[in-house]
Structure 1
Amino acid sequence: MIERHRDTYDEGAPMHALVHDPDAPQGLRIAEVGEPRPGPAQALVRVSAVSLNFGEIAFQAGVPGAVVGFDAAGVVERSAADGSGPAEGTRVATFGWSQGWAELRAVDTEDIAVVPDSVDLGEASTLPVAGVTALQALRRLGSVIGRRVLVTGASGGVGRYAVQLAALAGAEVVASVGGPHRAEGLRELGAAEIVFGPEKLSAPVHGVLDNVGGAQLAQAFGHLEAGGILIAIGMAAKEHTLIDFETERSRGPLKRIEPFIVDTPFGPDLDYLLRLVESDRLAPQVGWRGSWEKAAEAAEALLGRRVRGKAVLDLSG
């Protein structure tokens, strides 16, 4: 029996959704749940496509039977009662901390952006977490014009957006990946240099956008120039970081690490990213796409580092 959140779902109207199930492959299964009941400042969206993020798959936790998923794109079925947000029939990309991977999603209008007609909804679904994270983390570095910026885990969802956005901002981008097979397409996205691990850097960097954590974070920190900043975004390595600060003191220059937490609301940044996509200045990176009935297969490929960019699930067609 699926446990439902009675303050969120209407028991009388069933729909299908991907739910958390610790006993299912990759912790996901399609189940019947109640339709969401939107709050006054929420739109009800008919979902067409969703995208997976490494973190939400690798570090799943929660109530068995709960609807999961951060990113979803679709069409507004019912506009918000308070008059905010897009009208019915509008194509949108959405973000929420859960309940996105379902036929219908109730979502705060401040976390919605309109998808231009020329942009595919599946590609739009890759932007909320990965795109907004890359954009906000890059801002934390300040001006990067003419400066070297290292992106670790550059072949992942956040990484491929970070490479493009840093290049657009005028940085000399160094992309760090696990091997040649993960480097495909990164130069075309704006990487000036590709290395197989931060220890292979040819020269210091002003900023680091780290998606890996663990030993790579420590290595990258050691290659910062005076005044440099490392933004710790993710933990794809699934290991803690140990930094030898005695060694770092001997290197002399002042530098710092900042833990990254994405800031809400998502709507304005998501709108900006969609306009970049519309104008062909930002390329959505879809490395796997298929039916949501293959969610476990997509999740396994993502965790196994076999997806360059994002994995997208289509709910129909």
Structure 2
Amino acid sequence: MRAVVYDGQGITLGAAPEPVPGDGQALVDVRAVSLNFTDVAHLDPATPPGTVLGLDAAGVVRRAAADGSGPQAGARVVTFGWGRGAWAEVRAADTEHLAVLPDGVGFAEAAALPAAGVTALRALRQLGPVVGRRVLVTGASGGVGRFAVQLAALAGAYVVAAVGSPERGAGLRELGAREVVADLPDVTAPVFGVLENVGGALLGEAFALLEPGGSLQSIGAASGQPSTLDLESARRAGGGKRVEVFMVGTPDTGFGPDLAHLTALLADGRLDPQIGWRGPWERVREAADALLGRRVAGKAVLDVTAGE
């Protein structure tokens, strides 16, 4: 089968053997996949050449799981996998990490959801009830950030979206942001919670904006820079602030229920997948370069086309 693999230096569209599913895995014919920043920015040089990459994929169940779990053959599904393997014509998907697609939800839209959408959803939950409270989302123009803005607004929060430049803020008010800022000094009132995607110096600036009792979820470090905190200033300001290193889960934390929730929001028109780049998977390197170059507003999605 064709697949996007690691070739020893980077990613390429090549060939790989079809996966052999375990008892709790469905065999899925993949129709669309999405790229996450971590998929292309943090490739381990020790990864064996020929490894099939990717976390997120949507398609049609070819063969149901042998243990009877999950949907039957012919079901349209969205899938996630901790161990890569998504960017291929066929995927063996753990049934606890997939959800059946509602009518009207396309494969490309669904493929944009798993890693970014579930990350945003679970990080928001860590803040606690946010109705009527100010929530700051940094890196709001990215994949996780655009989902976080929408989900926080749906939860009743007053959303402040922080972006790297005014141009990157385009469309965020339409997604539910009440304020869009390119510099954190432009945030003039404290916030109850922060969904922080950038790291580096920005994390410390965002932490300083927390009100007493507020919390910051450190989701990622897209800046690639180490973060520092001025804890003494925080004590003088009243203390009681929290920083949590957010983890979306562990391999035994099923994505299925959250994916079902997110796809239902898509079907109802209450969530937009924010696909900022889409093309055939033959253009995977172009998509990866655009993502790394911060030229994608939201998600990059590849349509999987059958080949020899």
Q: Which residue of 2 aligns with 1:288?
A: 277
> For 1:177 and 1:158, how far apart are their aligned partners in 2?
13
* Correspondence for 1:300: 289
- The answer on whether the counterparts of 2:166 and 2:181 sit within 8 Å (CA) in structure 1 is no
1:32 equivalenced with 2:15 (yes/no): yes
Task: Provide the TM-score with structure 1 as the length reference.
Answer: 0.93
What are the superposed Cα offsets for residues 10-68 of structure 1, whole Å, 9 maximum, x if unpaired? xxxxx111111243xxx101121110000011000000000000112111112222111
* Counterparts of 1:204 and 1:245, CA distance in 2: 17
Q: Distance in 2 between matches of 1:56 and 1:225?
A: 34
Aligned CA-pair RMSD: 1.0
Contact 1:21 1:64 in 2 (8 A): yes
Determine the C-alpha separation between the residues in 2 that align with 1:198 and 1:136. 24
TM-score w.r.t. length of structure 2: 0.96
User: Is 1:314 matched up with 2:303?
Assistant: yes
The one-letter code matched in structure 2 to 1:299 is A
Q: Which runs of 5+ in 1 are unaligned?
A: 1-14
Paired residue secondary structure (1:265): coil
Letter in 2 for 1:69: G
Please say if residues 152 and 198 of structure 1, whose CA atoms lie closer than 8 Å, have aligned partners that are also in contact.
Answer: no
**Aligned twin of 1:77:** 62
1:159 aligns with 2:148: no
Q: In the alignment, is the contact (CA less than 8 A) between 1:137 and 1:260 conserved in 2?
A: yes
In structure 1, give the amino acid aligned to 2:54.
Answer: G
- Given that residues 207 and 228 in structure 1 are in contact (C-alpha distance below 8 angstroms), is that contact kept between their aligned partners in structure 2? yes
Structure 2, unmatched stretches of 5+, are none
Give the count of matched residue pairs.
300
Quick one: distance in 1 between partners of 2:75 and 2:184? Answer: 44
Percent identity of equivalent pairs = 60
In the TM superposition, 1:48-197 aligns within 5 A as 48-61=31-44, 62-97=47-82, 98-197=84-183
Counterpart-to-counterpart distance in 1, 2:36 and 2:72: 28
Cα distance between partner residues in 2 of 1:251 and 1:159: 28
Matched residues in 2 for 1:104 and 1:231: separation?
35
Match of 1:252 in 2: 238
Match of 1:47 in 2: 30
Write the distance in 1 (CA, Å) between the matches of 2:239 and 2:189.
15
- Distance in 2, Cα, partners of 1:70 & 1:32: 18
Residues 248-283 of structure 1: per-residue CA shift (max 9 Å, x gap): 222223100001111220000000000001001111
Pairing partner for 1:273 from 249, 258, 262: 262
Detail structure 1 runs of 4+ shifted over 3 Å in the superposition. none
The residue identity in structure 1 corresponding to 2:24 is A
